[in-house]
């Protein structure tokens, strides 16, 4: 039976989180926060850090004897999340990471028009309010950043993002509304925001030579995040060794497929050849992704491998303009957790404006025709889109709001694997790219741990991902920049997938069956737990 005091504690905690991060609240579909902007002052960051410790104390005081089994899981989800935030506090990323001052406004405006949960006039007013707050947020960034301690890679990424943000604010946001008067007012606010973004880019560019900080978090902190926040049994060294072991095992399998395809017995060589078969333009690439997304959905409907919720749909669209300088891979935006919508958005990686034609072709090589089926599975069916639509049905507000990559990305890679096991990839050229995608995630573990333990330089990591991850040099450089900025996330895909496979093995053994009906029951159950640490997800489905 649910505890009234615990429910009140959860509500108080989440309400405070929404107050502190109105952009996050809007992403979740809580439209009452849409006109508000995130406070990015130094005082606000220090206040939020102090509250992490207070909330940890309060949730630890909720003892097992007073809680229902599902509430114990919710408590442990919150405590794991808070522990991750606490561990990272000494790094003061708000003094080192310029994107901290870009992402809230960009996502805050973008999400309004992505989901369109309100009438156009209200959306326009909310977007205008957030655009008009940009100069203050950028001012806080210029005041707060400790540039000598900021890593140069952070600065370079933020400069590209700020320049793209200026065009987004000026040109694209006003075009989101039809009413001429609303468009004019949005254009005025967009001009103000655009000037602030350009000023920030110039500020960062003028100071980037001073940015000599280290992005590496160190092996001890990496281990603590794995064990205390993700509730995993590995330290950094053990995780890297696991990545290396998986890379060797998967390479042997992929080499056998390469032998069948072209007689080379070398998956890297075979994939490099297949990379040259790709759509001629980004829009043609998007169309290929759209076709394969529908094929994956049809496969699920025909096989009954999962339950498809009524009303769900997934659009396949170009990546947002402001993400293109910092993200060279596909991404997904879920329907808001607290809305009735089941419409997700699968974004395919378009090159940034001004990309030279020869680099555009290199980027298209990273989205080859044989590789697109695997990515469509990962991002849409039964990957992120299907999973997060299922998670929306969980009655717990904690399960609907909290996310860990070790489950979320682990599930999406598991989705690739189970579709391979069930015969979705019928052409060996498609099959080798599913192995390539998993090898890529094994390489990510090696690189991510290497970068953050100080055992691998940025350039060594780029070379490794080019040679071992089947990435083109521009995509490898963008990927490694992301790893530097987001420690432990790159390791989450394969690590989480292997944890889910182990959970599946134990669950099916208890069921005494591994047919598609049993698989569907497992898939429906575990994705409905949300995206929580895998240890807690197993507890949830056992209960």
User: How far is 346 from 387, CA to CA, in rounded Å?
Assistant: 13
User: How far is 158 from 373, CA to CA, in rounded Å?
Assistant: 32
Q: Supply 287's token pair.
A: 């169309």
Q: How far is CA 532 from CA 58, 342, 449, in A?
A: 20, 20, 22
Whether residue 2 is predicted with pLDDT greater than 70 in this model: the reply is no
> Could you tell me if 509 and 396 lie in one domain?
yes
Bridge partner list, 318: 348
User: How far is 442 from 254, CA to CA, in rounded Å?
Assistant: 13
What is the per-residue pLDDT for 474? 81
Which is nearest to 50 in space by CA: 98, 96, 16? 16
Whether residue 1 is predicted with pLDDT greater than 60 in this model: the reply is no
The answer as to whether 219 is a domain residue is no
Region 453-460: what's the mean pLDDT? 95
Helix, strand, coil tally for the chain in percent (to 5): 70, 5, 25
The answer as to whether 69 is a domain residue is yes
∠ Cα 360 365 368 (to 5°): 130
The residue out of 210, 245, 273 marking a domain boundary is 210
Which is nearest to 382 in space by CA: 286, 297, 292? 297
> Could you tell me if 24 and 167 lie in one domain?
yes
The residue out of 210, 236, 259 marking a domain boundary is 210
Centre a 10 Å sphere on the Cβ of residue 517 and count the other Cβ atoms it contains.
12
> Could you tell me if 427 and 519 lie in one domain?
yes
Region 217-238: what's the mean pLDDT? 97
Alpha-carbon torsion, ordered 88, 90, 95, 96, to 10 deg: -60
Tens digits of residue pLDDT in 11-57: 999 999 999 999 999 999 999 999 999 999 999 999 999 999 999 99
Q: Contact at 8 Å (CB) between 314 and 381? A: yes
User: How far is 467 from 440, CA to CA, in rounded Å?
Assistant: 10
Q: How far is CA 365 from CA 114, 148, 241, 278, in A?
A: 28, 37, 30, 6
> Could you tell me if 351 and 453 lie in one domain?
yes
Residue 489 burial class via C-beta count within 10 angstroms: exposed 0-12, middle 13-18, buried 19 and up: middle
> Could you tell me if 289 and 145 lie in one domain?
no
Whether residue 473 is predicted with pLDDT greater than 70 in this model: the reply is yes
The answer as to whether 216 is a domain residue is no
Please list, in sequence order, all residues whose beta carbon lies within 8 angstroms of the beta carbon of residue 509, skipping any fewer than 6 positions away.
none
pTM for the full model? 0.94
Task: Quickly list DSSP for 345-411.
Answer: EEEE-PPPTT--HHHHHHHHHTT-TTTHHHHHHHHTSSSHHHHHHHHTT-S-HHHHH-B-HHHHHHH
Tens digits of residue pLDDT in 122-159: 999 999 999 999 999 999 999 999 999 999 999 999 99
What is the per-residue pLDDT for 502? 98
> Could you tell me if 259 and 199 lie in one domain?
no
User: How far is 207 from 466, CA to CA, in rounded Å?
Assistant: 30
User: How far is 114 from 344, CA to CA, in rounded Å?
Assistant: 10
> Could you tell me if 97 and 236 lie in one domain?
no
The answer as to whether 215 is a domain residue is no
> Could you tell me if 188 and 268 lie in one domain?
no
> Could you tell me if 194 and 245 lie in one domain?
no
> Three-state DSSP class for 531?
strand
Region 100-115: what's the mean pLDDT? 96
The answer as to whether 257 is a domain residue is yes
User: How far is 411 from 523, CA to CA, in rounded Å?
Assistant: 10
H or E, element range at 313: strand 313-318
Query: Which range of residues forms the domain containing residue 430?
Result: 228-542
The residue out of 179, 210, 241 marking a domain boundary is 210
> Could you tell me if 233 and 101 lie in one domain?
no
User: How far is 409 from 325, CA to CA, in rounded Å?
Assistant: 22
Identify whether 472 is preceded by a cis peptide bond (ω within 30 of 0): no
The answer as to whether 46 is a domain residue is yes
Alpha-carbon torsion, ordered 519, 524, 527, 529, to 10 deg: -120
> Could you tell me if 290 and 182 lie in one domain?
no
Tens digits of residue pLDDT in 154-208: 999 999 999 999 999 999 999 999 999 999 999 999 999 999 999 999 999 999 9
Region 371-381: what's the mean pLDDT? 98
What is the per-residue pLDDT for 512? 94
The answer as to whether 335 is a domain residue is yes
Q: How many domains does the chain have?
A: 2
Q: Which residue has the tokens 């000026």?
A: 170
The answer as to whether 218 is a domain residue is no
Residue 480 burial class via C-beta count within 10 angstroms: exposed 0-12, middle 13-18, buried 19 and up: buried
> Could you tell me if 275 and 388 lie in one domain?
yes
């Amino acid at each position: 039976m649910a505890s009234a005091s615990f429910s009140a504690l959860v509500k108080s905690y989440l309400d405070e989180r929404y107050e502190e991060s109105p952009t996050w609240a809007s992403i979740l579909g809580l439209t009452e926060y849409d006109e508000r902007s995130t406070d990015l002052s130094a005082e606000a960051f220090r206040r939020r850090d102090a509250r992490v410790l207070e909330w940890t104390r309060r949730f630890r005081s909720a003892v097992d004897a007073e809680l229902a089994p599902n509430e114990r899981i919710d408590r442990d989800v919150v405590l794991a999340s808070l522990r991750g935030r606490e561990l990272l506090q000494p790094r003061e990323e708000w003094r080192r990471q310029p994107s901290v001052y870009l992402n809230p406004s960009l996502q805050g405006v973008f999400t309004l028009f992505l989901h369109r949960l309100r009438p156009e006039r209200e959306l326009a007013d909310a977007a205008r309010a957030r655009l008009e707050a940009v100069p203050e947020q950028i001012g806080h960034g210029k005041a707060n950043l400790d540039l000598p301690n900021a890593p140069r890679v952070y600065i370079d990424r933020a400069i590209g993002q700020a320049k793209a943000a200026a065009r987004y604010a000026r040109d694209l946001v006003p075009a989101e509304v039809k009413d001429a008067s609303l468009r004019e007012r949005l254009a005025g606010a967009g001009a103000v925001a655009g000037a602030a973004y350009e000023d920030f880019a110039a500020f960062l560019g003028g100071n980037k030579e001073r940015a000599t900080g280290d992005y590496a978090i160190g092996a001890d902190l990496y281990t603590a995040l794995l064990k205390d926040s993700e509730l995993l049994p590995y330290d950094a060294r053990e995780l890297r060794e696991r990545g290396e072991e998986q890379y060797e095992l998967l390479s042997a399998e992929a080499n056998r497929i390469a032998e069948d395809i072209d007689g080379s017995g070398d998956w890297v060589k075979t994939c490099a050849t297949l990379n040259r078969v790709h759509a001629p333009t980004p829009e043609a690439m998007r169309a290929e992704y759209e076709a394969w997304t529908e094929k994956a959905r049809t496969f699920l409907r025909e096989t009954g491998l999962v339950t498809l919720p009524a009303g769900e749909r997934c659009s396949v669209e170009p990546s947002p303009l402001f993400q293109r300088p910092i993200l060279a891979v596909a991404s997904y935006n879920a329907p808001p957790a607290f809305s009735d919508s089941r419409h997700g958005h699968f974004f395919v990686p378009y090159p940034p404006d001004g990309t030279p034609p020869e680099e555009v072709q290199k980027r298209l090589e990273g989205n080859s025709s044989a590789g697109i089926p695997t990515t469509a599975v990962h991002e849409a069916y039964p990957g992120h889109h299907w999973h997060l639509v299922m998670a929306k049905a969980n009655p717990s507000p904690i399960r609907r709001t909290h996310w860990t990559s070790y489950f979320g990305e682990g599930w999406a890679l598991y989705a690739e694997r189970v579709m391979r096991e069930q015969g979705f990839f019928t052409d060996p050229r498609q099959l080798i790219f599913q192995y390539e995608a998993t090898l890529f995630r094994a390489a990510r573990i090696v690189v991510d741990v290497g970068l953050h333990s100080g055992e691998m330089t940025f350039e060594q990591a780029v070379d490794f991902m080019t040679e071992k991850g089947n990435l083109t040099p521009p995509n490898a450089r963008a990927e490694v920049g992301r790893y530097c900025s987001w420690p432990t996330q790159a390791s989450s895909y394969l690590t989480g997938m292997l944890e889910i496979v182990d959970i599946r093995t134990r669950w099916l053994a208890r069921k005494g069956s591994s047919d598609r009906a049993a698989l569907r029951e497992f898939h429906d159950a575990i994705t409905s737990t949300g995206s929580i640490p895998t240890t807690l997800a197993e507890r949830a489905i056992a209960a």
